[in-house]
């Protein structure tokens, strides 16, 4: 026990601790001696509703194990109440884990302000409110630890998550600022980007994949960072999940330095573009570049060659905050190169408009806040009928040491910078989509990227803008909409509050504007999007992530904080030749997914002779006895028709697609649908060792129809239970049986058995052979003769899209980006979809069946042709299904027991 990292006497506050990661944190800290405040609002992952149950269950669990805990049911936006709970219950707070979160995923064009605002409230404002309330206590006791939660969506940007990406990257800038302010008070603040199963990730990852991304893999890193023995690791960013831990930092290109005078033009930068993106001599900054030194070096250079002249004739550029400073110079330069300019400023747009008109250009002014994005963009449309370029530049400063920062200061800065950027871009987006053209340059800052003392609000807003931009870049790319972000250094009225006047004069906005204009042109080779550039004093450089090779822990050994600490130097080592430069969510998952093959034996799940894993065997017995609460499923005629269409019904199959047909009916294979989202009373990860979602295959499906005729509308309740777990040495087999009953009568309607085959999860000492359960376990062999019937049917390109509407929203069947992570070039057809086709073919040829059993043997792509070969053997039909285009089986060893000899169709 003495070697354990313990938290005796300390108080740990965990937000969103009713489930997933938060629950794992809370129970862990409780087991290591801490007093735990379990905060959970008890709402849905979308932020709807409220309940005390989630927090109470976790508190009871901690207390039952001998720990100390209290519940708190407040929203994180009332962070002061959460921290007050800690002080009232335990007299102190030592560790704050900002973990609470919700999702509101939606494509940008369909995003509503409420989708944006709710995410910001919970993730950004909630984290601020909790940290701000804890801060005075931390300072007074000269001790505190803060863990903030980012995500891969924040680090790299994620399609359909512009709000979430913005919120999550904002946590990096916010936390880096807290780290700088807190260090002298022994307050250490770090950010993690975890990949773990939770109510939130259930919406974007398939259940089987989630089962091995246990929170248990994330907790040990958090424990190390939050422990008093950590005296130096602060301001860090860590990627963690699935047994892998790595650290990230910013890497800055050497960049291109040009003479800072009137010869610094967009064309001059274009001539040196390779240098801007040259990482052969990188630096690893913790703050802004030395712009004074850069300016001095730039002035020693000869004048820049003229370079190519850009032409923006016919283009309309909207610049926010362009009444002065940077925005004014942007507006003047765009106008000088032929663009019609919309000058937006809350105070005085007219002066800039007049300047442009005097030089022979075209401009209109719109006096409005960037937060009124609709009004600002409408001015462009009203004046010129189109909008091509948006430069989000408007901003304010409300700098203050964190312990003196007010909610108003935080909210004002977030609203102008981050919400204003969102609102203006959102208003312009429909026009960009319609014309299949758009250029956006957003403005972050070095304070956002690296954090800065007294700018926790500004850093949160500015880093959030970068996360927003990266997500937006992914959505816009296919529509020829490019989105980039700059971190400028220039003297303006805003920086005048923090810079000496001579520096304000020296750092001219004129040395930033040419890069902005260039990024909005069509001249840059391999047009960049989603990039980040630092610029000022004649210097232009791309900045990107660098990630350590990190360390992967064997996934068949429980991970502890002590094990993480032992390899800490390897986790944080950027110089051992293993570092890489992740740019996407897939890059972020790469190391984590690769680690699923990591076993302590050195082999991929090979069975160890004589080994008995008593914990797994006990878990299996416990899981078999566990009873499901029951999951409701209501369907009506519309759902029946939708399912029938999903398995290939045509408009001419009236009994399947027309509710008023005398013979309207439910195809028997519909029976697999009600259990789709039924909650099982056990987790696969608990009943097999080394569970890896990448190693899981849906092997077999058995369906029994217990009520005839199947009702065309009903309220059903499904009760899943564990049937058996078989140990195949190098694999485990898990069989789940689900009984589905009529909610009104209590009658059985369907019974399903689903068998999953998990490679690498055997060798735990369980039975090597499964039980014989009659039809449910029969493997049918096709007779050695020609089939009695053959049905050939082509699936449509939309088949997967239609079928998923019957219940399983796994993105593997619709999202090309997700299917690529799974190793498929395009989204594939759900196995139960082509099972439905095959069952329909048997039904059409031979009539109703009381049960059907299939073994899945291959994949099917939407648009491919299914060929079902059937043999009648007494009261049974043996069948198999092939993909015509490949000749390969997709369903094998299949059979159905018939009720009668005629089809209803």
Binning pLDDT at 50, 70 and 90, where does residue 207 land? Answer: very low
- Catalytic site residue from 25, 422, 450, 458: 458
- Does residue 452 belong to any structural domain of this protein? yes
Predicted pLDDT of residue 262: 92
Measured at the alpha carbon of residue 491, what is the angle toward residues 486 and 494, in degrees to the nearest 5? 85
Of 180, 177, 190, 186, give the one whose Cα is nearest residue 218: 190
**356 lies in some domain:** no
Give me the residue label for tokens 């232009």.
Answer: 540
Q: Do β-strands 532-536 and 539-547 pair in parallel, antiparallel, or remain unpaired? A: antiparallel
Residue in 23, 129, 168, 728 annotated catalytic? 168
Q: What is the mean pLDDT of residues 659-680?
A: 93
pLDDT confidence of residue 690: 80
Closest of 573, 632, 633, 645 to residue 796, by C-alpha: 645
Give mean pLDDT, residues 63-73: 97
Q: What whole-number distance in Å separates Cα of residue 884 and Cα of residue 867?
A: 6
Burial of 309 (C-beta count, 10 Å sphere; 0-12/13-18/19+): exposed
825 or 55: which carries more pLDDT confidence?
55
- pTM for the full predicted model: 0.69
pLDDT at 615: 87
User: Does residue 760 share a domain with residue 784?
Assistant: no
Residue 46 binned pLDDT confidence (cut-offs 50, 70, 90): very low
Higher pLDDT: 903 or 186? It is 186
Task: Give me the mean pLDDT over the 207-215 stretch.
Answer: 57
How does residue 822 score in pLDDT terms, banded at 50, 70 and 90? low
Does residue 164 carry a catalytic annotation?
A: yes
Mean pLDDT score across all residues of the chain: 90
With respect to residue 16, please indicate whether it lies within any of the assigned structural domains: yes
Q: Quick check: is 4 in a domain?
A: no
98-107, 256-265, 526-535: lowest mean pLDDT where?
98-107
732 lies in the same domain as 860: no
pLDDT at 508 over 90: no
Burial class (CB in 10 A: 0-12, 13-18, 19+), 774: exposed
The answer to which of 365-379, 482-496, 674-688, 865-879 has the lowest mean pLDDT is 482-496
Q: Quick check: helix, strand or coil at residue 236?
A: coil
Domain boundary among 571, 596, 621: 596
436 flagged as catalytic: no
Cis peptide before 844 (omega within 30 of 0): no
Q: What confidence score (pLDDT) does residue 601 get?
A: 65
Task: Give me the percent of the chain exceeding a pLDDT of 70.
Answer: 91
Beta-strand runs (E) in 492-550? 532-536, 539-547
Burial grade of 664 (CB within 10 A; 0-12, 13-18, 19 or more): middle
Residue 256 belongs to some domain of the structure: yes
Q: What is the pLDDT of residue 823?
A: 62
- State residue 212's pLDDT score: 52
Residue 220 placed within a domain: yes
Name the residue range of residue 147's domain.
11-241+548-596
In a shared domain, residues 96 and 237? yes
pLDDT surpasses 60 at 359: yes
| Mean of pLDDT values over 498-517 | 75
Residue 47 has a pLDDT of: 43
The pLDDT of residue 196 is 52
Three-class DSSP category at 166: helix
Q: Is 276 exposed, middle or buried (0-12, 13-18, 19+ CB in 10 A)?
A: buried
- Residue 579: phi, psi to the nearest 5? -65, 150
Pairing of strands 731-742, 714-727: antiparallel
Residues contacting 610, CB < 8 A, separation 6+: none
Question: 146: Cβ–Cβ under 8 A, 6 or more apart, which residues?
Answer: 95, 96, 98, 131, 134, 175, 178, 182, 187, 188, 189, 190
Check residue 415 and report its DSSP letter. I
Q: Do residues 802 and 750 share a domain? A: no
Taking the C-alpha atoms of residue 154 and residue 170, their distance in angstroms, rounded to an integer, is: 8
Nearest Cα residue to 145 out of 214, 35, 230: 230
Are 45 and 172 in a shared domain? yes
Query: Which residue among 25, 73, 143, 164 is the active-site one?
Result: 164
Note the pLDDT tens digit of each residue in 778-795: 999 999 999 999 999 999
Question: 596, 621, 654 — which closes off a domain?
Answer: 596
Alpha-carbon separation of residue 486 from 48, 441, 442 (angstroms): 36, 7, 6
Task: Answer for the pair 189, 235: CB distance below 8 angstroms, yes or no.
Answer: yes
CATH number, position 726: 3.10.129.10
Helices in 676-813 by DSSP H: which ranges?
A: 684-687, 799-803
Q: What is the CA radius of gyration of the chain?
A: 30
202 pLDDT band, cuts 50/70/90, is: very low
Q: Answer yes or no: do 226 and 298 share one domain.
A: no
Whether residue 115 sits in one domain with residue 26: yes
Q: Which residues are CB-contacts of 408 (< 8 A; sequence separation ≥ 6)?
A: none
Nearest Cα neighbor of 346 from 329, 325, 362, 365 is 365
Residue 173: which CATH number? 3.40.50.720
Whether residues 478 and 521 share a domain: the answer is: yes
* Residue 307 pLDDT exceeds 50: yes
Joined tokens for residue 370? 């960037």
Q: Do 190 and 293 sit in the same domain of this protein?
A: no
Q: pLDDT category, 469, cuts 50, 70, 90?
A: very high
In a domain, 437, yes or no: yes
Dihedral of CA atoms 369, 171, 145, 5 in degrees, nearest 10, equals: 170
The answer on 98 and 29 residing in a single domain is: yes
Helices marked H in 368-419: 373-384, 407-413
User: pLDDT per residue over 73-116, tens digit each?
Assistant: 999 999 999 999 999 999 999 999 999 877 677 888 889 999 99
Question: Does the residue 364 lie in any domain?
Answer: no
Asked whether the predicted pLDDT for residue 904 surpasses 70, the reply is no
Phi (first) and psi of residue 753, to 5 degrees: -125, 125
Residue found by looking up tokens 């099972």 in the block: 835
| Co-location of 82 and 204 in the same domain | yes
Phi, psi of 612 (to 5 degrees): -125, 120
Beta strands 187-194 and 144-149, pairing class: parallel
Same domain, 162 and 190: yes
> Are residues 761 and 695 in contact, defined by beta-carbon separation less than 8 angstroms?
yes
State how many domains the chain has.
Answer: 4
Residue that wins the pLDDT comparison between 376 and 827: 376
Q: In sequence order, what E strands does 28-80 have?
A: 35-39, 68-72
Residues in a beta bridge with 438: 481
Q: Which residues contact 140 (CB under 8 A, 6 or more apart)?
A: none
What single-letter DSSP state applies at residue 715? E
Question: Quick check: 865 and 885 in contact, CB under 8 A?
Answer: yes
Q: What is the dihedral of CA 26, 30, 35, 41, to 10 degrees?
A: 20
- Type and span of the H or E element at 870: strand 865-873
Q: In angstroms, rounded to a whole number, what is the distance separating the alpha carbons of residues 882 and 861?
A: 12
Domain finish residue from 718, 735, 767 = 767
């Amino acid at each position: 026990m003495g070697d354990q990292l313990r938290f005796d006497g300390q108080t740990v506050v965990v937000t969103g601790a009713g489930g997933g990661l938060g629950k794992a944190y809370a129970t862990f800290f409780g087991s290591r001696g801490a007093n735990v405040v379990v905060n959970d609002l008890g709402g849905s992952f979308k932020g709807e509703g409220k309940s005390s149950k989630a927090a109470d269950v976790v508190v009871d669990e901690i207390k039952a194990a001998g720990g100390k805990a209290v519940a708190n049911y407040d929203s994180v936006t009332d962070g002061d109440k959460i921290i007050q709970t800690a002080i009232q219950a335990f007299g102190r707070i030592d560790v704050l884990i900002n973990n609470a979160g919700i999702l509101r995923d939606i494509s940008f064009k369909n995003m509503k302000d409420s989708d944006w605002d709710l995410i910001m409230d919970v993730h950004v404002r909630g984290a601020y409110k909790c940290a701000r309330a804890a801060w005075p206590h931390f300072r007074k006791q000269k001790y505190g630890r803060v863990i903030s939660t980012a995500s891969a969506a924040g680090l790299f940007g994620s399609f359909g998550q512009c709000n979430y990406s913005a919120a999550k990257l904002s946590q990096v800038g916010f936390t880096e600022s807290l780290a700088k302010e807190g260090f002298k008070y022994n307050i250490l603040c770090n950010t993690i980007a975890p990949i773990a199963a939770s109510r939130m990730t259930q919406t974007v990852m398939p259940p089987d994949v989630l089962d091995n991304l246990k929170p248990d893999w994330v907790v040990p890193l958090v424990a190390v960072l939050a422990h008093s023995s950590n005296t130096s690791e602060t301001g860090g960013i860590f990627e963690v999940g699935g047994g892998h831990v790595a650290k990230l930092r910013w890497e800055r290109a050497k960049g291109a330095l040009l003479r800072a005078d009137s010869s610094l033009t967009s064309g001059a930068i274009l001539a040196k573009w390779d240098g801007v993106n040259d990482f052969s001599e990188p630096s690893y900054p913790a703050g802004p570049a030395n712009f004074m030194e850069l300016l001095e070096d730039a002035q020693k250079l000869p004048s820049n060659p003229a370079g190519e002249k850009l032409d923006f004739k016919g283009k309309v550029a909207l610049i926010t905050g362009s009444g002065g400073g940077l925005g004014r110079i942007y507006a003047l330069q765009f106008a000088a190169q032929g663009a019609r300019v919309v000058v937006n400023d809350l105070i005085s747009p007219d002066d800039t408009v007049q300047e442009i008109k005097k030089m022979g250009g075209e401009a209109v002014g719109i006096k409005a806040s960037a937060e009124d994005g609709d009004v600002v963009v409408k001015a462009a449309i009203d004046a010129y009928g189109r909008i091509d370029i948006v430069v989000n530049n408007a901003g304010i400063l409300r700098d203050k040491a964190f312990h003196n920062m007010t909610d108003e200061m935080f909210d004002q800065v977030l609203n102008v910078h981050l919400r204003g950027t969102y609102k203006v871009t959102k208003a312009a987006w429909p026009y960009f989509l319609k014309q299949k053209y758009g250029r956006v340059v957003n403005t972050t800052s070095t304070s956002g990227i690296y954090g800065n003392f007294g700018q926790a609000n500004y850093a949160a807003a500015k880093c959030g803008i970068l996360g927003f931009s990266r997500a937006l870049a992914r959505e816009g790319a296919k529509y020829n909409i490019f989105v980039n972000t700059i971190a400028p250094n220039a003297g303006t009225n805003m920086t005048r509050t923090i810079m000496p006047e001579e520096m304000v004069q020296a750092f001219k906005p004129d040395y930033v504007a040419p890069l902005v204009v260039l990024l909005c042109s069509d001249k840059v080779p391999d047009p960049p999007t989603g990039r980040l550039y630092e610029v000022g004093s004649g210097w232009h450089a791309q900045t990107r992530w660098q990630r350590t090779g990190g360390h992967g822990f064997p996934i068949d050994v429980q991970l502890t904080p002590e094990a993480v600490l032992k390899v800490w130097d390897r986790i944080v080592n950027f110089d051992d030749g293993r570092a890489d430069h992740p740019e996407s969510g897939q890059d972020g998952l790469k190391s984590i997914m690769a680690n699923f093959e990591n076993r302590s034996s050195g082999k991929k799940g090979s069975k160890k002779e004589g080994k008995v894993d008593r914990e797994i065997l006990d878990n299996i017995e416990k899981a078999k006895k566990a009873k499901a609460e029951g999951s409701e499923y209501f369907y009506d005629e519309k759902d029946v028709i939708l399912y029938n269409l999903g398995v290939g019904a045509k408009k001419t199959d009236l009994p399947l697609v027309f509710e008023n047909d005398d013979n309207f009916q439910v195809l028997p294979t519909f029976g697999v649908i009600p259990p789709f989202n039924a909650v099982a009373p056990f987790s696969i990860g608990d009943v097999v060792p080394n569970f890896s979602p990448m190693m899981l295959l849906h092997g077999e499906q058995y369906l029994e129809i217990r009520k005839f005729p199947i009702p065309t509308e009903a309220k059903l309740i499904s009760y899943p239970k564990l049937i058996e777990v078989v140990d195949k040495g190098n694999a485990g087999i898990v069989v789940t049986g689900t009984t589905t009953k009529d909610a009104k009568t209590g009658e059985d309607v369907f019974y399903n058995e689903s068998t999953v085959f998990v490679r690498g999860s055997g060798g735990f000492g369980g039975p090597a052979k499964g039980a014989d359960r009659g039809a449910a376990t029969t493997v049918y062999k096709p007779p050695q003769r020609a089939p009695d019937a053959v049905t050939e049917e082509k699936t449509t390109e939309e088949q997967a899209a239609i079928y998923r509407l019957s219940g399983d929203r796994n993105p593997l069947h619709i999202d090309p980006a997700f299917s690529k992570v799974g190793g498929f070039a395009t989204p594939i057809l759900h196995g139960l979809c082509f099972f439905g086709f095959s069952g329909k073919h048997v039904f059409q040829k031979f009539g109703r069946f009381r049960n059907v059993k299939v073994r899945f043997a291959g994949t099917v792509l939407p648009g491919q042709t299914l060929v079902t070969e059937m043999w009648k053997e007494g009261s049974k039909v043996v069948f198999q299904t092939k993909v015509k285009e490949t000749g390969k089986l997709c369903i094998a060893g299949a059979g159905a027991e018939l009720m009668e000899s005629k089809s209803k169709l």
